[in-house]
Amino acid sequence: MQINTQKKDIIWNYLGIFFSLGSQVIWLPVLIHYLPPDILGLWYVFVSIGGMVELLDSGFTPTLSHCMTYAWSGAMDLKKQGVVFSGERSGPNYALVYGILSTCRVLYFGIACVATLVMVGAGTLYVQRIASAYLSWQVYATWMLYIASTFINLYIGYYAVVLVGIGDIFHKNRAQILSKGAFLILGTLGLVCGFGILSLGVAYFASGFVLRFLCKHYLIKEHKFDELFRKYRHQTDYSKRHVLAMMWPNAWRDGLVTVTAYLTGQATVLMSSGFLTLYETGIYSFSMQVVNALISIASGMFSAYVPAIQSAYVSRNRKVMKDLYAKSMACAFHLSFWGIIVFAAIGIPIVQLLRHDFVIERPAFLLLALSIYLLNRHRSSACFISTMNKLPYTFSFIFFGVISISATYIGLAYFHLGLWGLILIPLAVQSIYNNWKWNQVVNRYLHTTEIRLMRQGTADLMRIVGNKIFKTKS
C-alpha cells in the first residue's frame, strides 16, 4: 500500500516547526524573568543530561520508523539491507507491524531502564557536585520528575515514531503541538505562582505524558491498533529475535551517525566559548540559531515526504520517489535562499536597531548559512538513502566529523583563526567529500543531476502554486 503524504500532513508539519520555534521566542523571556540565572543554568544542566542520555535510542528511532513504513507499505519481510519487496500485496503486512511493535516494547523498556539508572547514579552525582550550593527539596523533586519523564519518554516514545512510520504526520504533529502547549501553559502558571524550578519539572512530566497519550490514542482510534494487537498477538512469523536481528545492523550505524552529529554541533559551541570572546560567541550562537531555524522551516516538506518516499521504494516506484524528492529539495533550496537573503537585508539592521552593539557581519553570516545549508543538503540525501534500508555513509560521516572537530580545534588553538576559522574549516572539510558525494549517489539512483533535479522540483512547485492561484480566482 502506497503511503501518500497529504496537504494537511505538510501544513501540520510546518505548523509544528513554527510552533516549536515560536514558543522559544515566548518562553525564553518568561524563564529569564522568573528564574535567577543560576537556577536557570541548573535547569539547562538537567536538559543537557537528559539529551545526552536520550542518545541511547538515537539509532533505533530512525530504524524503527523505516521498518514500520516498510511493513505498512506491504513489505513481505525485513532484511539487514533493503527489504523483501511487497510483490502483489495490496495492504499493510499487519503481522510484521505487530512483530516490530512487540519487539520495540521490550527494546525500549530496556533502553529506558538503562537511561534511568545512568541518571539516578552518575547524573545525580554530577548535579550534586556542580550545584551543591543550590540543593533543596525543590531541586531534588525537579530532578526526580525529570528522570521519571525521561523514562516515560523513552519507554513509550515509540508511539510517536510509529505514527511517522505509517505516514500519519498530521496526528503526530497535532500531538506534539498540544504537548508543547501544555508545557508552556503549566510552566508559565507555575512560575507566576512562585513554584520556581519545580514548575518546569511538573510541566515537562505532563507534556511528555500528553504527547505519548495522544499518540497512542490516535493509533487506536484512527488506525485500530487495539484490534491489530488482539488479532496478531499469537503470530510467530516475525519473532522478536528475528526483527531485532534485522534492525540492529542499521540501528547501531544510525546511532553512531546521530551521536557524531550531536557531538559535532556541541563541539563548535564549546570551542567558540573557549577560543573567542563572549561577544563573538554570542554573535556566532545567535547566527547559528537563526540559520538553523530558517533551514528547519525550509526542510519541512522533505521531512513530511519521507514516509511516502519509503513507501514508494517498497512499491518499486522510482518515479514517485524522484518527484517527491525533487519537489522537497527545490522547496528547501528556495525557502533557505530567500529566507537567508531577507534576514541579511532586513533582519540584521533590525537586530542592530534593537541592540546597537550587536553587530553581525553579513559576509560571515552568509558563509555560515552556506555551510549549514550544504550540511543539511547532504544529510537530506543520506536520509533518502536510508529509506532504502542502506547506510553507506556511516564511515564518512564519522570520519569527516572527527576531522572537522580536530581541524577546527587546531585552527583556533594554534593559528588563532577566530570566528572565520570556526566557519571556514568545517565548510572546507565537509566539502572534500560529504557535501557532494551523497547528493551524487541519490541523483544517479534517480537518473538525474543536481541541476535537472532542481529544475524539475521548481517547475512542479510553480505548477502547484499556479493551480492554487487560478483555482482561487475562479
pLDDT tens digit string along 71-112?
888 888 888 887 887 665 568 889 999 999 899 888 889 999
Q: How many CB atoms lie within 10 A of CB 67?
A: 28
Spatial contact of 309 and 321, defined as CB atoms under 8 Å apart = yes
Grid coordinates standing for 383?
536520509
* Contacts for 474 with CB less than 8 Å, ≥ 6 apart: none
Please name which of 460, 442, 302, 339 lies closest in space to residue 381, comparing C-alpha atoms: 442
Q: So what's the pLDDT on residue 470? A: 65
101 or 467, higher pLDDT: 101
- On the CB side of 466, CA atoms within 13 Å amount to 6
By percentage, how much of the chain surpasses pLDDT 90? 39
401-439 pLDDT tens trace: 999 999 999 999 999 999 999 999 999 999 999 999 999
Task: Place 471 in a pLDDT band, splitting at 50, 70 and 90.
Answer: low
User: Which among 221, 470, 271, 324 has a CA at the least distance from the CA of 3?
Assistant: 324
pLDDT bin (cut points 50, 70, 90) of residue 23 is low
Q: Please state, in angstroms and rounded to a whole number, the distance separating the CA atoms of residues 474 and 471.
A: 5
User: What pLDDT score does 84 carry?
Assistant: 83
List, for residues 196-227, the tens digit of each pLDDT value.
889 989 998 999 889 989 999 999 988 888 88
Counts for the chain of helices (H) and strands (E), in that order:
20, 2
**Whether the predicted pLDDT of 448 surpasses 90:** yes
- Please check the confidence at residue 364 and state whether its pLDDT lies above 90: yes
Average pLDDT along the chain? 87
Residue 448: partners with Cβ closer than 8 Å, 6 or more residues away: 322, 326, 456
Is residue 342 predicted with pLDDT exceeding 90? yes
pLDDT confidence tier of residue 292, bands split at 50, 70 and 90: confident
Enumerate the domain spans of the chain.
Answer: 1-238, 250-465
* pLDDT at position 44 over 90: no
| Amino acid in the structure at residue 228 | L
pLDDT (mean) for 256-277: 78
The pLDDT value recorded for residue 375 is 95
Neighbours of 179 (CB within 10 A): 21
Q: What is the mean pLDDT of residues 106-121?
A: 91
pLDDT exceeds 70 at position 182: yes
Q: Quote the pLDDT of residue 266.
A: 67
Q: What is the pTM of this model?
A: 0.81
Nearest in space to 328 (alpha carbons), one of 315, 314, 312: 312
The helix (H) or strand (E) run that includes residue 48 is helix 37-53
Specify the DSSP class assigned to residue 196: T
d(CA 107, CA 111): 6
* Percentage with pLDDT > 70 across the chain: 94
pLDDT of 296 reads: 86
Burial 201-229, CB ≥16 within 10 A → b, else e:
bbbbbbbbbbbbebbbebbeeebebeebe
Q: Is the pLDDT of residue 465 over 90?
A: no
Tallying the residues shown for the chain, one arrives at: 474
What local confidence, expressed as pLDDT, does residue 39 receive? 80
Mean pLDDT of 326-342: 95
Query: Average pLDDT of 439-451?
Result: 97
